[in-house]
Chain A
């Protein structure tokens, strides 16, 4: 047997989802005997069968990946419940196994995958999807690239018709329907309380109460910026017009057209707009969210 053949067979077995009791499945995906499959390439010893030796790796694989998913998507886990979330992870990781050298990217396809497989989103699909998008945005903001902030000298010709601004690559813009930013922070707080004093069960109940409170809310548009400042990730609510402006900047439109986009269909009185624009630019500049054009072509809009 060639090395690549052995590795394909072992990887197939190792990546097979565990049973509900967290053991290796007795049948392969093709319906054959897993014991027979293990025996073809793994030696037994005086204490463990070939199946049991392979099972150690099968369990390690899933424990490691599930643990990473729970760490990255604790909010989604709270929304769906632990058991449903675990089954979702098995299904997602079977369809989308890791194709990156780092576990950091394990959830990179989750939002897209959930849109294609909405049955995993549970009783509150919009809330669950909002939470998933927020948690992935958090990961991107945490260690995404940072370009030099825009300086006054970079604004030599802001009146030029084709003048363009650039946003920090780590800034993520989200259009949501539930206040998952507040919910995520509350869930994190519950986790903190839990480790300090209360039992797991108490912590879980507290999380569930918070999730239910948000789930009962009527969906409404919420616009959010997720960004990094001094190496901490922040969530900042945006006005609809401010969000539209930033989305247009992110698309690479000239500033003039960004401003047109910002107020398309807006109910904001015309006389209030100059002050609003000034305030947005002032705040966004203070946060360093405008930057010079990133040098890396991959980071350009």
Chain B
């Protein structure tokens, strides 16, 4: 299960996001890290320090690209300049797969720079799947689509979020980046059972898993990536691994970023769950 066509038949372990405050530590200490995830848009530039650091990282580590603004779910056409730069970066990093979100964020050429929620309609699924296919055809690596945290639901919706995810993934024949923290956050905001979601995901399409922390407010939970992972999210992660097998896992920590060692240490808590999943998979095979 872990290596599949949606993650380029790779078998990556536990990674963390490459973030500016950690550049110096990584380049000088060269810590052992299974892989780094980069935010594609941060490196879709013409020159300067970010690209120099990226090249140094690429010399020593495996890197996977994660995008934040392709907006598969926007009704408008794909941004050709964005695609051109993404393809150039794919050639540079040799990422075995890339991911972006199941959301929208731009309309009529105006960008919100946010991950806005989709209405779960068949029209939206068709449009989204078609755009994911276009991106896959252009970049020539597998694309995995990530479920987002959401704070609103639409009257228009015709299905659940997980049914929508499956509809899109089938229609696009793409992979899934399963964010178990986002499932937890949305389940609390929209009062559904997160295990219904995890149990419904097509296991064979899961290319990667995200874990993260969030912030709890009085009436809702916000996906802030500024805390350690909480126990209920680890339990959801454990269940996800039972279904999909040991899968490349990444901890996201984007705000109030602590030291590299703290972030990496938090991420490595996943190894216990991955080992258990690997043992279970082996026992099943025997």
- A-side interface residues toward B, CB under 8 Å? 1-4, 6-8, 10-11, 14-15, 40-43, 45-48, 50, 52-54, 56-57, 60-61, 64-65, 68, 97-104, 142-146, 169-170, 228, 231-232
Instruction: Check B45–A45 contact: CB distance below 8 A.
Output: no
Instruction: Check B46–A144 contact: CB distance below 8 A.
Output: yes
Instruction: Check B49–A231 contact: CB distance below 8 A.
Output: yes
Question: What are 22 of the A-B contact pairs (CB < 8 Å)?
Answer: A8-B108, A14-B114, A41-B154, A41-B155, A42-B152, A48-B219, A52-B219, A53-B152, A56-B222, A57-B151, A97-B110, A97-B111, A98-B112, A98-B113, A102-B44, A104-B45, A143-B45, A143-B49, A169-B46, A231-B48, A231-B52, A232-B49
**Nearest residue, chain B, Cβ from A296:** B46
Contact with A along B6-17 (1 / 0, CB 8 A): 000000000000
With A3-B75, A7-B104, A142-B48 known as contacts, the answer to whether A15 contacts B112 (CB < 8 A) is: yes
Instruction: Check A99–B156 contact: CB distance below 8 A.
Output: no
Instruction: Check B45–A48 contact: CB distance below 8 A.
Output: no
Please give me the 4 A-B residue pairs with the lowest Cβ-Cβ distance, nearest first.
A4-B75, A145-B46, A143-B48, A231-B49
Instruction: Check A99–B109 contact: CB distance below 8 A.
Output: yes
Interface residues on B, range: 35 or more
In the complex, which of the residues A10, A11, A97, A146 has the most CB atoms of chain B within 10 Å of its own CB atom?
A: A11
Instruction: Check B108–A102 contact: CB distance below 8 A.
Output: no
Contact with A along B218-258 (1 / 0, CB 8 A): 01101000000000000000000000000000000000000
Q: Which of B24-64 contact A (CB under 8 A)?
A: 41, 44-52
Instruction: Check A48–B123 contact: CB distance below 8 A.
Output: no
In the complex, which of the residues A42, A68, A146 has the most CB atoms of chain B within 10 Å of its own CB atom?
A: A42
Instruction: Check A56–B152 contact: CB distance below 8 A.
Output: yes
For A7, the chain B residues whose CB sits under 8 A away are 74-75, 104, 107, 116
Q: Report how far A10 CA is from B51 CA in the complex, Å.
A: 35
Q: Is B76 an interface residue (CB 8 A)?
A: yes
Q: Report how far A169 CA is from B46 CA in the complex, Å.
A: 10
With A64-B113, A101-B69, A231-B48 known as contacts, the answer to whether A42 contacts B107 (CB < 8 A) is: no
With A3-B123, A101-B41, A101-B79 known as contacts, the answer to whether A43 contacts B154 (CB < 8 A) is: yes
Q: Is B263 an interface residue (CB 8 A)?
A: no
Given contacts A7-B104, A52-B219, A104-B45, 8 further A-B contacts (CB under 8 A): A3-B121, A43-B155, A47-B219, A64-B114, A99-B110, A142-B49, A231-B48, A232-B49
For A57, the chain B residues whose CB sits under 8 A away are 114, 116, 151-152
Give the shortest distance, in Å, between A17 (CB) and chain B (any CB): 14
Instruction: Check A3–B219 contact: CB distance below 8 A.
Output: no
Q: Report how far A231 CA is from B81 CA in the complex, Å.
A: 25
For B74, the chain A residues whose CB sits under 8 A away are 7
For A98, the chain B residues whose CB sits under 8 A away are 110-113
- B-side interface residues toward A, CB under 8 Å? 41, 44-52, 69-70, 74-76, 79, 81-82, 104, 106-114, 116, 119, 121, 123-124, 127, 151-156, 189-191, 219-220, 222
In the complex, which of the residues B46, B75, B76 has the most CB atoms of chain A within 10 Å of its own CB atom?
A: B46
For B220, the chain A residues whose CB sits under 8 A away are 47-48, 56
With A143-B47, A146-B47, A231-B49 known as contacts, the answer to whether A4 contacts B76 (CB < 8 A) is: yes
Instruction: Check A11–B107 contact: CB distance below 8 A.
Output: yes
Instruction: Check A6–B156 contact: CB distance below 8 A.
Output: yes
In the complex, which of the residues B41, B48, B106 has the most CB atoms of chain A within 10 Å of its own CB atom?
A: B48
Q: Report how far A10 CA is from B104 CA in the complex, Å.
A: 11
Q: Report how far A43 CA is from B119 CA in the complex, Å.
A: 11
For B52, the chain A residues whose CB sits under 8 A away are 231
Instruction: Check A15–B110 contact: CB distance below 8 A.
Output: yes
For A54, the chain B residues whose CB sits under 8 A away are 152
Q: Report how far A154 CA is from B115 CA in the complex, Å.
A: 49
Instruction: Check A61–B152 contact: CB distance below 8 A.
Output: no
Q: Report how far A146 CA is from B112 CA in the complex, Å.
A: 30
Q: Report how far A223 CA is from B229 CA in the complex, Å.
A: 52
For A103, the chain B residues whose CB sits under 8 A away are 113
For B106, the chain A residues whose CB sits under 8 A away are 101
Give the shortest distance, in Å, between A65 (CB) and chain B (any CB): 7
Give the shortest distance, in Å, between A143 (CB) and chain B (any CB): 4
**Nearest residue, chain B, Cβ from A168:** B47
With A6-B119, A7-B104 known as contacts, the answer to whether A65 contacts B113 (CB < 8 A) is: yes
With A4-B76, A53-B152 known as contacts, the answer to whether A99 contacts B111 (CB < 8 A) is: yes
For A61, the chain B residues whose CB sits under 8 A away are 112-114
**Nearest residue, chain B, Cβ from A104:** B45
In the complex, which of the residues B49, B74, B81 has the most CB atoms of chain A within 10 Å of its own CB atom?
A: B49
**Nearest residue, chain B, Cβ from A50:** B152
For B108, the chain A residues whose CB sits under 8 A away are 8, 11
Q: Report how far A104 CA is from B113 CA in the complex, Å.
A: 11
Q: Report how far A68 CA is from B151 CA in the complex, Å.
A: 23
